Structure 1
Amino acid sequence: MRSYDEILAIAADRKGGVDAVLADIPRPRSADDLAAIPEDRWLAAFARGILQAGISWKVVDAKWPGIEEAFLGFDVTAIAFQPPGWEDDLCTDTRIIRSPPKVRAILHNAEFIRRVRDESGSFGRRVGDWPEDDFAGLVQWLQAEGARLGGNTGAYALRSLGKDGFLMSRDVVARLVAEGVIDKAPASKKAWAAVQEAFNTWRAQSGQSLTTISRVLAQSL
């Protein structure tokens, strides 16, 4: 497996220098900052990722104000107290993307966030306190406990709110394959563990965030 500096050099050669590779990489938020994010923003981030899957993101952007309104501002407590039949009404609401499986997934995730809030004080606290050297475990937890948060949906949502982590984009996976870490996109616990070990190694070598390392890998191909 190449070192971080070797992969950074490859990316820099492709992109016109190290500064170009490292430009505009967001700085991750602290655990306390993540803990302070309201539950409705976590649900909104998950909902956006779910709704964007398989359709134009511009369509979701254009409908987003209506989506926020239809889902009660993604207030997880308000959602919990809606009467029977509200889910059916949502599935026919022209303000949203009318996909019953996606609507059900968003409502499932509202319950998931409420449960974690009751257990941990806040959903953001649970995410913020998740060990930095086990981001793969966090992604797998979202996939197992949430709904339609597998693939990159959960990881994208985490990054959008400032959690340090990596994405299994096509280019990142290709670099990991080239380095002999995995042979395809990770699906098993063993493969995810190998990915995490590689990122931990590059993090120890560079002192960079997982977000930065992920972006460097993506730009190296």
Structure 2
Amino acid sequence: MRTFEEILAIAAERHGGREAALANIPEPLSPEQIAAQPEARFLAAMARGIFQTGISWSVVDAKWPGIEEAFHGFEPARVAMIEGDAFDALLSDTRVIRSGPKLAAIRDNAVFVTEVASEAGSFARKIADWPVAEFDALLDWLKRSGSRLGGNTGAYMLRAMGKDGYVLSRDVVGRLIAEGVIDKPPTSRRALAAVQAAFNTWAEESGQPYTTVSRVLARSIG
């Protein structure tokens, strides 16, 4: 497995220098900044990822103001109550993307957020306090406890909310395979643990956030 500096050198060669390889990578938020964000924004980020799966992201962007209105600003307590006639009305609401399974998943995630908040005091706090060295476990928890938050949906939601971590995009997976960390896109717990261990090593040796490590790995391929 190459060091982070060696992978950064590959990315720099592909993109016109070290500065370019590290450009436009936002700093993750601190735990306190993450915990201070309204839980409606976490639910909105989940919803955006769910809607974007399988369709053009530009379509979701164009419809987003109407989606926000239809979902009452994504206040979890209100969205969790969308059932029966209210859910049927949402299915025919032209402001949203009218996919029954996706709409139901967003409603179910509102229930998930409210339940976690009642147990942990705050969904945002739960996310904020989760150790980045166990990011694989956070993604697994979102997949198992939430609705349609598997694949990269949960990871993109966390990135949008400023949580330090990684996204297993095609290019990141390509670099992980090239480094011998995995031999194919990871799905097993063992493979995902190996991915986490590699990111822990690169972050420790470089002093860089996991978000930066992830972006550099991607730029070393794409």
If the length of structure 2 is used for normalisation, what is the TM-score?
0.97
Provide the residue aligned with 1:183 in structure 2: 183
RMSD: 1.0
| Structure 2 CA distance for aligned equivalents of residues 48 and 171 of structure 1 | 22
Q: Residue 82 and residue 11 in structure 1: after superposition, are their counterparts in 2 closer, same or farther (change >3 A)?
A: closer
For residue 187 of structure 1, give the secondary structure of its aligned residue in structure 2.
coil
Stretches of structure 2 lacking an aligned partner (at least 5 in a row):
none
Aligned to 2:78: 78
Q: CA deviation at 1:82?
A: 4.5
1:147 corresponds to: 147
Q: In the alignment, what sits opposite 1:56? A: 56
CA distance in 2, matches of 1:25, 1:73: 28
Q: Deviations over 1:57-114 (max 9, x none)?
A: 1111111111111111111112234463211211111110000000010001000000
Q: Given residue 130 of structure 1, which amino acid in structure 2 is its aligned partner?
A: W
Correspondence list, 1:1-221, <5 A: 1-82=1-82, 84-221=84-221
Q: How many residues of Structure 1 are paired with residues of Structure 2 in the alignment?
A: 221
How far apart, CA to CA, are the structure 1 residues paired with 2:37 and 2:20? 31
Question: CA offsets, 1:176-205, max 9 Å, x none?
Answer: 001111112211111110000000000111
Secondary structure of the residue aligned to 1:6 is helix
How far has the Cα of 1:17 moved from its partner?
A: 0.7
Amino acid at match of 1:173: V
| Matching residue's letter, 1:191 | A
In structure 1, runs of 5+ residues without a counterpart are none
What SS is found at the alignment partner of 1:85?
Answer: helix
Distance in 2 between the 1:14 and 1:192 partners?
Answer: 27
Q: Quick one: distance in 2 between partners of 1:113 and 1:163?
A: 17
- The 2-side partners of 1:47 and 1:141 are apart by 17
1:145-184 per-residue CA deviation (whole Å, 9 max, x = no partner) reads 1111111111011101100000100000000001111112
Shift of 1:24: 1.0
* Identical columns (%): 60
TM-score by length of 1: 0.97
Q: Note the C-alpha offset of 1:122.
A: 0.9
Distance 2:48 2:199 in 1: 27
Distance 1:185 1:37 in 2: 33
